[in-house]
């Protein structure tokens, strides 16, 4: 009473005192464990500022993380008190294991609370003018109150994929929140323990964080640090939230204040007391309060004469516990067995429970009424801070998961089953008129019982409910429960097989393809044993589709063919789009274009069975097929469908492919190459967002094609090189020959027919191994063009005829029109009329039947003019060639001067020899080379310097050595016929002599270019050999050269050893200097993904596992270069 009197006097004398707090002058022996927030003023300010921002119609998402006991709950309570007087509605939800598989559980529960706080009438008034909005039916599918209040005007489609409808559902929730967030009252959503949040809700909040605008909405997510290790959860929360609060330990001063408030500010203690309490607690407020409680229970902390005292001597000896979990569990020690039994029963409900249901559970289990005992136990648990009350919702919840788990596992397994069964039956009774909207809670309990029929019934019902809410992940959870039960008990039937197939579809579209195979193949055995042919067909198709998703086309085709055979046997048609789409795609890539179009069109009849990505893929490949055939109008009908679909797509992977398909269409048709380039760039951007290397690769391909049609050939070649790097480093080989075909086209565009021919010749040597007939046609075309340009018309016609024969098989009019027109042109020049008339007739038919043929013909005529121009240039007098030869020799002379300068500036002989060899390779165009020294005394060759070649690959025979010693000259070897790429096309052996004795040998070769070397090159390279002798002589005279020769040979250029490119060298240098990938990308003006690719390649070449090992390997080398 005395404390109350003093408080009243203080209020009357100083009513505006901001520091006044009730109860400061109370004289109580009890500890005040309900102290308001201490030491979180900065965090509170951030929350208040976020709230103020929402009042300006700017939605906010805040994330709070902290260890158990750090005061997250107190912070939220204080925040609510600060804003409660304002015009807002505060909604809260505490996630738990029982809610983990309930789609949109937080939103669903908070919506019910919103109706309760705002009034059903207000909500219905808000929505009554919106029932015709396209989003309204989706809201009705989530919230029963809207179904009951308004007529359901339309039924919603439920696809197995769920993705498209889910997107509409998310849009509808966004629409409703935008509506609710613009009323006079702002909305605050507090979501605690988000580690238990269902995955659909995480997706929803991520979507809302990107799409909400101009609303007074604040979302606060809370998680204990103990659960923050969940990587996916961490990444998602970072994407969702605009602000993050990571609670740290409170300070020593704050801990003093907390002690004083817990003791009602009555007590004066030594500095060492406060310090020890702080040290033991590590600044954790909960541990501080629990330590004071334990000291009071041990009578070390005691109340005497209106104040608190501490027994310092006993305090120094007393062992306090700083394990937060043990402290939480110790709170249970004050409860007797009867009380613990009641709390254990409460734990069966999950984290949240109601007194009425708990009393019903107690009565059903024990057989007698004990409401008073239940209420007293719950009140005591509240005092001990084990349980908290949500007054708004009329329920209670456990303050910490560890408390609930400890109580739950006090019960035996049989008690668990009995109690969960009672809970399930109680819920069935309570919600008997609304089972479907409470199915998840009932299923949760039946899943922990032995009631087989109920277990199956409710899991299948919950799966249907989840699908109706477009939650395929949660639907798969309930389906799996039922299907596993069927397998364990061998009770399959055709109906169960149908459920399994639906389950397998979900597994496949969510990426768990291997898991789907386990279920499908096991069920397929049962199906065959029971002669269930229809189910057999469906499962065989689904297995094939799984392989289709894995890009394992061979296996997919095998299963699809089996399904077609079974279907034909039954006289039925397969009504699934995937088999037709796959066979159509395979025919396209084999350039059986008419067959491809037939199957792709058939797939479109069943496109309802395809997920969006495959619908886009099917339209895209059919568009390409039609354009290659020269039917532009039909091709662009498919392309326009994709362009319209783009507006409704938000998946970056699907968007990347959609833009890729459209880009190629605009390039090949010549309709709008600039638009093609824009689309290719967008495809690349979305591919980078998805971080899917296959789509990055394909987007670079469409960009290179667009540059080619824009006649920007250098850009096209540069992009093609990047795409080929990705192909090599990631082992992506789909369409790789098409990339090489466009390299050839780009060189033709640059009028570098010789280079185009060299590349084509390499690939024509293995043309039978190339599946892409478009590429083979390009290589044959190029060979014909080159041969004609150098005057070999008869040879050109031979290659043209081979190309035309392949064109007639494939009908790739994109190239075929050129082939026909070019042959007509040549036949005209040589006076061959009969064949010319036949070809002209074919061309006229093409022009009539194919609306794109005229475009192909115009491009062909322009290119033929270029060919004739190049041919005329090649036939000009040799003065140009003589000039070029003089320039070549001058270029070589300049290099000889550079090498001479190296000899006198580079003291390390090994380094010097490497640089000389690299310079020789640069001059000659050779790919590989070696410098060998001869030791006549031992009759041995020392392989001193090697580049891109091993010792074993240099086939130096005794006969060759004797011949060089005798003639004092080297020799050239050229392979004239076009054989395998692995054969050496051209090589040169240049000996060098000292005092007429064989001293060494320079060896160079190439596997790509025929006739690279000639006798003239032997004369020029002889000059370089004299410089090699000079280099070694300098070594012998140099007084600084003290390292034994054997050790000197060990030291080599690491960049040369590991074949490090110039760009990779730049990146290695920046890595050693400590630059991050993002910094490197900015420094070198390249994309982040390009940096990652280069670093991956460097790691692969050198064999290092991390940046530290890389730095250790190259540190000295970089320092020397600097």
8 A C-beta contact, residue 966 and residue 948: no
Under 8 Å CB-to-CB from 752, ≥6 apart: which residues?
Answer: none
Backbone angles phi, psi at 626, to 5 degrees: -70, -35
From 446, 386, 395, 351, select the one nearest 96 (Cα to Cα). 351
DSSP 771-801: --HHHHHHHHHHHHHHHHHTT-HHHHHHHHH
Measured over all CA atoms, what is the biggest interatomic distance in the chain, rounded to whole angstroms?
128
Beta bridge partners of 397: 352, 388
CB 800 within 8 A of CB 819: yes
Q: Which residues, 6 or more positions from 538, have their beta carbon under 8 angstroms from its beta carbon?
A: 497, 498, 501, 576
pLDDT, residue 838, reads: 92
Please state the length of the chain.
1122
Give whole-number Cα distances, 912 to 909, 915, 934, in Å.
Answer: 5, 5, 18
- Between CA 227 and CA 223 the distance in angstroms is 7
Sheet holding 88-94, edge to edge: 88-94, 186-192, 217-224, 60-66, 243-246
| Rounded Cα distance, 292 and 285, in Å | 11
Torsion of CA 611, 613, 614, 620, to 10 degrees: 150
Helix, strand, or coil (residue 62): strand
| Model pLDDT, residue 968 | 80
In terms of C-beta distances under 8 Å and separation of at least 24 residues, what long-range contacts does 1052-1061 make, across chains too?
1052/910, 1052/914, 1053/910, 1053/911, 1053/914, 1053/1117, 1054/1113, 1054/1114, 1054/1117, 1055/1117, 1056/914, 1056/918, 1056/947, 1058/1101, 1058/1102, 1059/948, 1059/1101, 1060/1098, 1060/1101
Sort 644 into a burial class: Cβ within 10 Å, 0-12 / 13-18 / 19+.
exposed
**What's residue 360's pLDDT?**
92
Query: In this structure, are residues 347 and 424 in contact, taking their beta carbons and an 8 Å threshold?
Result: no
Distance CA 1049, CA 1039 (A): 18
Place of tokens 């596993």: 484
Give the predicted TM-score (pTM) of the model.
0.58
* Spatial distance between the Cα atoms of 290 and 323, rounded to a whole number of angstroms: 11
CB neighbours (10 Å) of residue 569? 10
> What is the distance between the alpha carbons of residues 980 and 1008, in angstroms, rounded to a whole number?
10
Between CA 75 and CA 39 the distance in angstroms is 10
Q: Taking the chain (1122 residues) in consecutive chunks of 10 residues, what is each chunk's mean pLDDT?
A: 62 60 60 85 93 91 90 90 85 85 86 77 72 70 65 46 62 85 87 88 89 91 73 77 90 92 80 91 90 89 87 88 81 90 92 89 90 93 86 82 89 94 93 87 92 92 86 88 89 86 85 88 89 89 84 81 88 85 84 91 86 87 94 94 88 90 95 94 87 85 96 94 88 85 95 93 89 92 94 90 93 93 91 89 92 92 93 64 44 57 67 82 84 80 85 83 82 69 81 79 85 77 65 49 38 73 85 79 75 79 78 61 44
Structure-block tokens of residue 1016: 């003239």
- Which of 277, 269, 202, 192 shows the shortest CA–CA distance to 240? 202
473/362 Cα distance (integer angstroms) = 35
């Amino acid at each position: 009473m005395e404390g109350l009197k003093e408080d009243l006097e203080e209020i009357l004398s100083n009513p505006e005192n901001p520091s006044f707090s009730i109860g400061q002058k109370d004289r109580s022996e009890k500890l005040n464990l309900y102290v308001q927030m201490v030491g979180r003023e900065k965090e509170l300010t951030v929350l208040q500022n976020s709230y103020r921002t929402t009042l300006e119609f700017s939605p906010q998402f805040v994330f709070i993380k902290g260890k158990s006991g750090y005061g997250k709950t107190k912070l939220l309570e204080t925040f609510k008190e600060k804003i409660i007087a304002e015009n807002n509605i505060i909604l809260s939800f505490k996630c738990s294991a029982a809610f983990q598989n309930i789609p949109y559980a937080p939103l669903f529960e908070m919506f019910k609370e919103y109706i309760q706080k705002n009034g059903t009438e207000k909500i219905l008034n808000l929505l009554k003018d919106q029932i015709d909005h396209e989003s309204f039916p989706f809201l009705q599918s989530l919230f029963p109150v809207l179904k009951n209040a308004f007529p359901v005007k339309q039924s919603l489609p439920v696809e197995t994929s769920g993705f498209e409808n889910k997107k509409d559902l998310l849009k509808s929730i966004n629409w409703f929140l935008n509506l609710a967030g613009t009323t006079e009252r702002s909305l605050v959503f507090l979501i605690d323990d988000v580690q238990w949040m269902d995955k659909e809700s995480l997706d929803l909040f991520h979507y809302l964080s990107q799409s909400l605008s101009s609303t007074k909405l604040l979302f606060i997510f809370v998680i204990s640090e103990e659960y923050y290790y969940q990587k996916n959860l961490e990444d998602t929360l970072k994407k969702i939230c605009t602000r993050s609060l990571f609670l740290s330990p409170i300070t020593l001063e704050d801990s003093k204040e907390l002690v004083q408030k817990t003791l009602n500010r009555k007590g004066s203690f030594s500095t060492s007391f406060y310090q020890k309490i702080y040290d033991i607690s590590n600044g954790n407020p909960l541990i501080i309060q629990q330590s004071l409680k334990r000291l009071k229970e041990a009578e070390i902390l005691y109340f005497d004469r209106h104040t608190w005292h501490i027994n310092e001597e006993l305090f120094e000896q007393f062992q306090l516990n700083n394990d937060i979990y043990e402290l939480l569990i110790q709170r249970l020690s004050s409860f007797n067995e009867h009380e613990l039994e009641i709390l254990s029963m409460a734990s069966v409900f999950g984290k949240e429970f109601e007194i009425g249901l708990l009393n019903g559970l107690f009565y059903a289990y024990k057989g007698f009424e004990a409401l008073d005992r239940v209420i007293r136990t719950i009140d005591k648990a509240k005092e001990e801070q084990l349980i908290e009350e949500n007054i708004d919702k009329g329920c209670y919840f456990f303050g910490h998961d560890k408390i609930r788990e400890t109580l739950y596992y006090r019960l035996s397994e049989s008690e668990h089953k009995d109690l969960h069964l009672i809970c399930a039956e109680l819920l069935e009774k309570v919600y008997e008129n609304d089972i479907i909207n409470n199915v998840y809670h009932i299923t949760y309990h039946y899943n922990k019982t032995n009631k087989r029929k109920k277990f199956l019934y409710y899991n299948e019902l919950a799966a249907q409910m989840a699908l109706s809410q477009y939650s395929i992940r949660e639907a798969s959870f309930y389906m799996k429960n039922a299907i596993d039960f069927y397998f364990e008990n061998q009770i399959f039937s055709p109906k169960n097989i149908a459920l399994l197939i639906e389950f397998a579809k979900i597994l496949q579209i969510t990426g768990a393809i291997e898991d789907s195979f386990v279920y499908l193949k096991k069920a397929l055995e049962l199906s065959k044993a029971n002669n269930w042919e229809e189910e057999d067909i469906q499962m065989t198709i689904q297995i094939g589709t799984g392989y289709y998703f894995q890009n394992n086309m061979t296996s997919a085709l095998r299963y699809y063919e089996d399904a077609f055979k079974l279907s034909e046997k039954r006289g039925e048609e397969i009504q699934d789009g995937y088999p037709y789409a796959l066979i159509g795609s395979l025919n396209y890539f084999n350039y059986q274009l008419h067959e491809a179009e037939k199957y792709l069109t058939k797939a479109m009849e069943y496109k309802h069975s395809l997920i969006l990505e495959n619908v886009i893929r099917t339209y895209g490949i059919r568009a390409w097929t039609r354009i290659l055939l020269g039917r532009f109008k039909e091709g662009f009908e498919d392309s326009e469908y994709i362009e319209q679909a783009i507006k409704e797509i938000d998946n970056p992977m699907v968007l990347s492919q959609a833009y890729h398909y459209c880009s190629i269409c605009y390039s090949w048709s010549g309709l709008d190459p600039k638009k093609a380039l824009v689309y290719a760039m967008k495809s690349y951007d979305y591919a980078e967002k998805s971080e899917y290397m296959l789509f990055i690769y394909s987007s670079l391909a469409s960009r290179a094609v667009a540059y080619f049609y824009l006649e920007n050939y250098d850009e096209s070649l540069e992009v093609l090189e990047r795409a080929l790097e990705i192909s090599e480093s990631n082992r992506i080989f789909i369409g790789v020959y098409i990339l090489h075909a466009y390299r050839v086209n780009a060189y033709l565009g640059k009028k570098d027919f010789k280079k185009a021919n060299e590349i084509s010749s390499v690939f024509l040597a293995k043309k039978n191994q190339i599946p892409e007939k478009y590429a083979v046609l390009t290589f044959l075309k190029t060979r014909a063009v080159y041969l004609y340009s150098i005057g070999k018309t008869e040879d050109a016609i031979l290659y043209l005829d081979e190309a035309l024969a392949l064109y007639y098989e494939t009908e790739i009019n994109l190239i075929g029109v050129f082939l026909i027109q070019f042959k007509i042109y040549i036949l005209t020049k040589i006076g061959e009329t009969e064949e010319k008339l036949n070809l002209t007739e074919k061309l006229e038919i093409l022009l009539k039947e194919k609306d794109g043929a005229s475009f192909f013909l115009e491009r062909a005529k322009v290119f033929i003019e270029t060919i004739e121009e190049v041919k005329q240039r090649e036939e000009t007098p040799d003065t140009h060639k003589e000039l070029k030869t003089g320039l070549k020799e001058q270029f070589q002379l300049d290099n000889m001067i550079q090498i001479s300068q190296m000899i006198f500036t580079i003291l390390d002989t090994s380094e010097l020899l490497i640089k000389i060899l690299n310079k020789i390779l640069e001059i000659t165009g050779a790919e590989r080379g070696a410098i060998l020294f001869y030791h006549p005394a031992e009759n041995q060759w020392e392989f001193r310097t090697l580049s891109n070649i091993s010792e074993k690959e240099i086939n130096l025979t005794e006969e060759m050595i004797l011949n060089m010693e005798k003639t004092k000259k080297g020799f050239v070897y050229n392979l004239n016929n076009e054989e395998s790429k692995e054969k050496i096309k051209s090589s040169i052996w240049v000996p060098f002599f000292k005092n007429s004795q064989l001293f060494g040998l320079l060896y160079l070769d190439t596997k790509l270019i025929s006739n690279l070397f000639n006798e003239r090159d032997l004369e020029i390279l002889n000059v370089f050999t004299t410089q090699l002798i000079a280099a070694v002589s300098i070594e012998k005279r140099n007084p600084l050269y003290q390292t034994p020769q054997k050790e000197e040979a060990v030291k080599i250029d690491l960049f040369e050893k590991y074949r490090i490119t110039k760009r990779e060298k730049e990146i290695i240098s920046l890595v050693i200097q400590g630059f991050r990938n993002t910094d490197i990308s900015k420094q070198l003006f390249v994309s982040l993904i390009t940096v990652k690719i280069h670093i991956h390649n460097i790691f692969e070449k050198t064999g290092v596992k991390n940046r530290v090992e890389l730095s250790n390997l190259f540190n000295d080398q970089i320092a020397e270069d600097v």
